[in-house]
Chain A
Amino acid sequence: MMLPEIPRRSWSQRWHVKGLVGTGILLVLLVASSRMTGVDVGMFFSNFGQFLNLLVRMSSPTWSYTAVIIRPLLETIQMAILGTTIGAAFAIPFAVLSASNLIHNRFLRGVTRLFLDLVRTLPDLLLAAIFVAVFGIGSTAGVVTLAIFSFGMVSKLFYEVIEAIDMGPLEALESVGASKITIIWFAVLPQILNQFVSYFLYTLEINVRASTVLGYLGAGGIGVFLQRSLNEFNYSQTAVIILATLAVVLVIDGVSNHLRRVLL
């Protein structure tokens, strides 16, 4: 009996040349960049004692402080929800305009995507600093920052979802004589809704975390209290804030994971 002829792997395939070369380049880049930026790994270990010291001082949380931070914590959650919702709402039309399977006009698509890229390159801390200057200290600055940050992130996630949809139903609706907007409503929306909700929840999670840091710049919420406790070296209060934030993040994480499982 003849064995079927199996094509031989080439020399480079047999020795995994691509993989080895790739790993080598990565290592070189890693070492080179730590040299060039002057990162001193040794210092990290020699100062480890100070870090432990801090941990010890945080290990006795003043639990009574919990009552004080409940309100700002709720404010943080509200900021995150509001910011994410506003950002995601604005992201929808921009995501549609960026999707190559819906918009055939290259120029329009290019301009929209360029705009979105620009928005995404703005760091959230910079945005917070600007809006605290504009709106003054308080949660308005935080909400606007989170809205813009979410807008940039979600619009990209959204248009990638749109580009992956099945085009069959769109063809069918076009053939019955539907208008462009009706086509999007009937044939695109049902295909993307679940993933949109899922990405929305994911962004919300990120924003709860981000908003604690933003508060540090005066943009409202729990971050203001975090900053105060750190300035006063009151680490037993810091510990309470960190634990409370962790609890909130865990709860939101759990809820959104559950919702995502139910939806997808």
Chain B
Amino acid sequence: MKPAPIISFKEVNKIYSNGTVGLKDINFDILRGQFLVVVGLSGAGKSTLLRTINRMHEITSGEITIEDETISDYKGQSLRLLRRKIGMIFQGFNLINRSSVERNVLSGRVSYYPTWKTICGLFTKADREMAVRALQRVQLADKIYTRADELSGGQQQRVAIARTLMQEPKVILADEPVASLDPLTTKTVMDTLQRLNREDNITVIVNLHSVPLARQYADRIIGLRAGELVYDRPIAEVTEADLNEIYVAEAEKA
């Protein structure tokens, strides 16, 4: 039996208010538990694609469904509940620099509390223990009381992953998570994402610039060019030549 799609795009278009085409006629399904890598030149629409999934960007037309529900109807509380099940990792880590690692990690849990409890810092003992476990999974439990900006880039990105784990997400979106890291820390971060994908069956969608990394970690690669889906293959069928074409064809046009 074919596994059910967790996310599907149907005829999705996104045009920015200044007229820039972000996405054009996007149609595809993402299967539960997949490790999907999105490649494409800068400006191809990778970030836009990712941000339509958790409604950080609104689409202009078409439909996105997650677990068989149309996400465009969500607002207020239901939108926050949608975002709770979709973790997001950013190129710039986006930690609160002046706050402790613990507070950063706990901030991933706030959607489980009413606003006033988050403000008073009334996190349950169970959730504080969960934060410790999340940090253990990214090998940073000893840094729990360190200020976030005292960590290296790779460590900060792992704290960001721990924050995401607090959401108990079904999907993780990672927007060029290793673009500002050196090769060694790149590997730890990508390995961590891979472990979450395999051990917790979290569906992972990663935007990457690097073809070798894409081939090493992906189950499936899709390619974007000028907002259009121009490539979509399972990893077994992907060749170096294909990927080069996604980059080169566009580079020559430019």
Residues of A within 8 A of B (CB): 166, 168-169, 171-179, 181-182, 185-187, 190-191, 193-194
Q: Are A175 and B83 in contact (CB under 8 A)?
A: yes
Q: Write out the residue numbers on chain B whose beta carbons fall within 8 Å of the beta carbon of A168.
A: 90, 92-94
Q: Which residues of A contact B166 (CB under 8 A)?
A: 176
A181 vs B114: C-alpha distance when bound (angstroms): 11
CA distance A172 to B82 in the complex (A): 14
Give how many B residues have a beta carbon under 8 Å from the other chain's beta carbons: 33
Binary A-proximity of B85-106 (CB < 8 A = 1, otherwise 0): 0111010111111110001000
B84 at interface, CB cutoff 8 A: yes
Kindly report which residue of chain B lies nearest to residue A169, judged by CB atoms. B96
Q: Are A171 and B56 closer than 8 Å at their CB atoms?
A: yes
Main secondary structure of the interface of A (DSSP, over half): helix
A176 contacts which of B99, B108, B119 (Cβ < 8 Å)? B108
Is B170's beta carbon under 8 Å from chain A?
no
B118 at the interface (CB under 8 A from A): yes
Question: Across the interface, which residues of A come within 8 angstroms of B79, CB to CB?
Answer: 177
Contact check, A176 vs B118: say whether CB atoms are below 8 A apart: no
Max chain B Cβ within 10 angstroms of own Cβ: one of A166, A171, A176, A190: A176
3 tightest Cβ-Cβ pairs between the two chains A and B: A177-B111, A177-B83, A168-B94
A225 vs B12: C-alpha distance in the bound complex, in angstroms? Answer: 75
Which residues of B does A touch, CB under 8 Å?
Answer: 54, 56, 79-84, 86-88, 90, 92-99, 103, 107-108, 110-111, 115, 118-119, 160, 163-164, 166-167
- Complex CA distance for A233 and B88, rounded to whole angstroms: 73
- Shortest A192–chain B CB gap in Å is 10
| Residues in B neighbouring A179, C-beta threshold 8 A | 80, 110, 115, 118
Report chain A residues within 8 Å CB of B83. Answer: 174-177
* Chain B: minimal CB distance from A68 (Å): 47
Is the pair B92, A191 in contact by a Cβ cutoff of 8 Å? no
Contacts of A174 in B (CB 8 A): 56, 83
Most buried by B among A169, A175, A178, A187: A175
Query: What chain B residues lie within 8 Å of A171 (beta carbons)?
Result: 56, 90, 94
Is the beta-carbon distance between B167 and A176 smaller than 8 angstroms? yes
The one of A186, A190, A191, A194 that contacts B110, using a Cβ cutoff of 8 Å: A186
Collect the chain B residues with CB atoms within 8 Å of residue A166's CB.
97
